[in-house]
Amino acid sequence: MTIIKAFNGIRPVPELADKIAALPYDVMNSQEARVIVGDNPYSFLHVDKAEIDLESSVSIYDYKVYEKARDNLEYMIKKGWLTQDKNKCFYIYKQIMGEHEQTGLVCCLSVDDYLNDRIKKHEHTRKDKEQDRINHVKYCNANTGPIFLMYAANNQVDKIKNEYMKNNLPVYDFVSEDNIRHIVWVIDNNETIEMLINLFKEIDNLYIADGHHRAASAVKVAEEKREKNADYTGNEEFNFFLGVLFPHNELKIMDYNRVIKDLNGLAAEEFINCVKEKFIVEEYKGKEQYLPDRKHKIGMFLQNKWYILTPMKDTYGENDTEKNLDVSILQNNLLSPVLGIKDVRTDDRIDFVGGIRGLKELERRVNNTTAVAFSLYPTDVNDLMDIANQGKVMPPKSTWFEPKLRSGLFIHSLE
């Protein structure tokens, strides 16, 4: 049984939605955020990456940053750029990227569902990144960035969403700078809200697609507040956190590629000979870059040439979903034993490039260096769910979901 809850959303006035909405804080660094914001005073990056309003010498983990985030959020509310709905609502959030469409339900989720593993995870989190978002939530006293989750597709939920969109006007409809269309409807009809609550009670699990650190930090803040309020009832807002729920069959996972900065002391020919111990290596004859078109095909770019790597049968386990992932095959049979990349989370010799940036970005990083790049076939959403159901985690940087949710369109106050 999954618990979802309506809430009094804090959100932009319609005429400012496109100016306030911002990419998630964790897909850019501070310098990039400063460039993106430019002279836009409305951007929600002033809240989610408040260091952009301080001297560049200030650490992103300095408490001045969290104080600034709180002050900026309060300022945006005071100015009337953000207002709070008087009634508890759900929201429908539709995104259109080219021919791809995904439609999510914006709601609050139970901290207890997270703690009891009804909300499934597929990534480890880092303590420093957790603590950063814990501080951000505590100072703002709000969930400012929604967690991106999925559930096994349910026809009845789809029907309700589709009928509501058909019969009601959206409150927002704009195209962001990356050409993604964002459309939002407010569900303030109590009967519809109750139907959705009851339908999700029949859904066993939710799966975090993106936002593991935001989810973990929201739960840690809730646990702290519970300790300070021994007589809490469980109905307080801090017992819930902000999420957007998508049916699994609507989500688009893109390739998440790798660039290694050197060949670990090997000459190119030596390196290729080592690769051939575990992979069939073919030179790619196509005119463009090589993007794998199926599982167990890996692209490799080295010295201005693309190669196709086909893993040999003994490099993966047919009946082990985790070991059967291309990211695992690459890591276990090449990155670790040949290139010496043991821990991809901490090794500074490896960079990750989301598929949205294209394979020319891999070529750009590799050209005129001793680096090598690998292009991967996207991870299947069913594999993600299977691994999460087994209580396992996927290798780091296994999934890149597009389009990204925008922050600033929905804020959940913990008051």
Annotate 373-399 with DSSP letters as a single string.
Answer: EEE-PPPPHHHHHHHHHTT--PPTT--
How far apart are alpha carbons 325 and 394 in whole angstroms?
9
What does the block give as tokens for 49?
A: 């990456």
- DSSP SS3 for 349: coil
Helix axes 127-140, 63-78, angle to 10 degrees: 40
> Is the residue at 373 inside a domain?
yes
Could you count the other beta carbons within 10 Å of the beta carbon of residue 319? 6
Domain that holds residue 221: 4-252+404-413
> Is the residue at 398 inside a domain?
no
111 touches 209 (CB < 8 A): no
State pLDDT tens for residues 365-384.
Answer: 998 677 999 999 999 999 99
> Is the residue at 397 inside a domain?
no
**pLDDT score at 43:** 98
336 touches 407 (CB < 8 A): no
What does the block give as tokens for 66?
A: 């969290």
* Measured torsion, CA atoms of residues 147, 151, 156, 161, in degrees rounded to the nearest 10: 20
How far apart are alpha carbons 403 and 102 in whole angstroms?
9
> Is the residue at 392 inside a domain?
no
How far apart are alpha carbons 160 and 173 in whole angstroms?
20
Angle at CA of residue 378, ends 374 and 219, nearest 5°: 110
- DSSP SS3 for 118: coil
> Is the residue at 382 inside a domain?
no
How far apart are alpha carbons 10 and 302 in whole angstroms?
50
Angle at CA of residue 408, ends 405 and 412, nearest 5°: 100
Q: 171 Cβ partners below 8 Å, 6+ apart?
A: 14, 17, 184, 185, 186
Buried b (16+ CB within 10 A) or exposed e, 100-131: eebbbbbbbbbbebbeeebbbbbbebeeebbe
20 touches 408 (CB < 8 A): yes
State pLDDT tens for residues 271-325.
Answer: 999 999 999 999 999 988 999 999 999 999 999 999 999 999 888 877 788 889 9
**pLDDT score at 27:** 86
> Is the residue at 333 inside a domain?
yes
202 with 264, same domain: the answer is no
177 with 87, same domain: the answer is yes
Cis peptide before 41 (omega within 30 of 0): no
**pLDDT score at 313:** 86
**Can you give the pLDDT of all 415 residues of the chain as single tens digits?**
899 999 999 999 999 999 999 999 988 999 999 999 999 999 999 999 999 999 999 999 999 999 999 999 999 999 999 999 999 999 999 999 999 999 999 999 999 999 999 999 988 888 889 999 999 999 999 999 999 999 999 999 999 999 999 999 999 999 999 999 999 999 999 999 999 999 999 999 999 999 999 999 999 999 999 999 989 999 999 999 999 999 999 998 999 999 999 999 999 999 999 999 999 999 999 988 999 999 999 999 999 999 999 999 888 877 788 889 999 999 999 999 999 999 988 899 999 998 888 899 999 999 867 799 999 999 999 999 999 999 988 888 899 899 999 999 999 999 9
92 with 222, same domain: the answer is yes
- DSSP SS3 for 403: coil
130 with 202, same domain: the answer is yes
298 with 221, same domain: the answer is no
299 with 346, same domain: the answer is yes
How far apart are alpha carbons 275 and 333 in whole angstroms?
8
What does the block give as tokens for 89?
A: 């609502």
Stretch (H or E) spanning 100: strand 100-110
75 with 143, same domain: the answer is yes
9 with 66, same domain: the answer is yes
> Is the residue at 240 inside a domain?
yes
The whole model's pTM is what? Answer: 0.91
Q: Is 340 left (phi over 0), alpha (psi -120 to 50) or beta?
A: left
Q: What are phi and psi of 287, to 5 degrees?
A: -80, -30
44 with 154, same domain: the answer is yes
**pLDDT score at 17:** 98
Residue closest to 262 by CA, chosen among 335, 162, 344 = 335
176 with 140, same domain: the answer is yes
64 with 102, same domain: the answer is yes
- The secondary structure of residue 334, as a DSSP letter, is I
236 with 294, same domain: the answer is no
> Is the residue at 393 inside a domain?
no
Residue closest to 92 by CA, chosen among 26, 173, 25 = 173
- Give the total number of structural domains in the chain: 2
Q: What are phi and psi of 149, to 5 degrees?
A: -125, 165
